[in-house]
Amino acid sequence: MSSSAIFHEHLEALAGIREWWVFPHQHAFWSQVQRQVWLREDDYTDDLFMKRYRMPQPVFQILLQAIVPFLSSTDRDNFVCPPIDPEQALSFTFLRLAHNDSTTHISDTFGVGGESIVRKYCNIVVEILATRLRPQYVVVPFGERLDHIIADFLAITMLPNVCGAIDGTHIRLARRPRWHNTQAQYWCRHHFHSILLQVVCDARKKLWDVRVSVPGGTNDAAH
């Protein structure tokens, strides 16, 4: 059977569903991830998972369980196309964040609808992480926890009353800012457009503050 015939047969089987949401894709990658990671059929090393998603698999699973209730309600309220599995949405969102993959590449790789669907899900997942989960995990220390952090730093550095290590880095923008009168503000000393990321961590390298709020051309102290 020709590829054209297979395609039309596929569309007939999905009669009543808009074709640009179910256009057939080669999604062997996602099937492989399901077999190797979630179904545990093959030897999928932690190093490879870390390289792909920049986090260990147990952390991914924790975030997945936490995000499912919010993502499920979002599916019901905001989409008229068939919903995407939460683990798949989280997977391609982290892949996009880690490697800046294009929505076209993700759509083809995971076999999920069109670029607009990928972009919509990525935005929703990031919003859930930032507004729902961040306050649970990234918290300014106080009380007993603050005392423990100060004690940890004292043991490492012999400096009293230290509660955090602060640093920043530049996040390269995929495209230059659209507002011409502000482009210079985003041009950093490394000669590319960026925004500034500032983090504070405790002595065990656990973040307790994250800020991404100023253009890359601004001094680090602006946070």
Question: Could you read off the pLDDT of 148-171 as tens digits, one per residue?
Answer: 999 999 999 999 999 999 999 999
Q: Token match 């950093």: residue? A: 188
What is the model's pLDDT at position 196?
A: 93
Cβ-based neighbours of 140, under 8 Å, separated by 6 or more: 208, 209
Which element (helix H / strand E) includes 124?
Answer: helix 115-128
What is the model's pLDDT at position 21?
A: 47
Domain boundaries, the chain: 3-136, 138-222
Cα separation, 183 vs 220, in Å, equals 18
What is the model's pLDDT at position 44?
A: 55
Cα separation, 205 vs 98, in Å, equals 20
More confidently predicted of 20 and 55: 55
What is the model's pLDDT at position 207?
A: 94
The separation between CA 32 and the C-alpha centre of its own chain, rounded to angstroms, equals: 20
**pLDDT by residue (tens digit) across 90-112?**
988 998 888 888 888 888 778 77
Q: Give me the mean pLDDT over the 171-187 stretch.
A: 79
Residue 6 pLDDT > 90 = no
What is the model's pLDDT at position 47?
A: 77
